[in-house]
Amino acid sequence: MPTTSLTFEEITSAICRHWRDELPELIATAYPGVQLGTDRLAEWFELSVEQWTVLPRRDGDPDQATLELMVRCLARPDVATGRIWQLAEYARGLFAEVDVPIVDHSVSEAAVIGWVRFDAGVLRDVTRSERDRNRPPLRHVEWTWQGTVKSG
């Protein structure tokens, strides 16, 4: 994995902490690298960092990287139809054109060591139209944001 003065773990942790702290409702979320038992859930989110690229820089310039953040919003068919769009709106409100601080918590809660700046994002409805023989399809929409990471 490419490296900058900010680690992938620090950046991912900042994104997950932002999500956890700012989400307006307590809704189950599968975070990167964590499995979530969904058999009994009516709705949930899945967060993942899909791409990670360190950008070239000149000496003395701050480190920069880009990443792609994906947030999947999932709901069972028995959940009200409009609910999947409400979940998508929650996600949009947390990341669309937002700066997420990367904090070094070993120093203090105010020790900002970098930022992730997200673009407006792209929303896709990826609900499958075909049905599994054993269960109806999940409602599934996903947001994708391009983020630019800057240290310092």
**C-beta of residue 72 within 8 angstroms of C-beta of residue 49:** no
Domains of the chain: 8-151 (3.30.2000.20)
Q: Which two tokens stand for residue 144?
A: 């994708």
CB under 8 Å to 14, separation ≥6 — which residues? 100, 101, 102, 103, 116
Burial of 13 (0-12, 13-18, 19+ CB in 10 A): middle
pLDDT tens-digit profile of 76-112? 988 888 899 999 999 999 999 999 999 987 777 778 9
Question: Which of 95, 100, 102, 99 lies closest to 4, judged by CA?
Answer: 102
pLDDT value for 2: 42
Structure tokens belonging to residue 71: 């947030």
Please state, in angstroms and rounded to a whole number, the distance separating the CA atoms of residues 40 and 22: 24
Low-confidence ranges of the chain (pLDDT < 70): 1-4, 60-62, 129-136
Packing angle between helix 8-22 and helix 83-95, nearest 10 degrees? 130
Per-residue confidence (pLDDT) for residue 100, from 0 to 100: 96
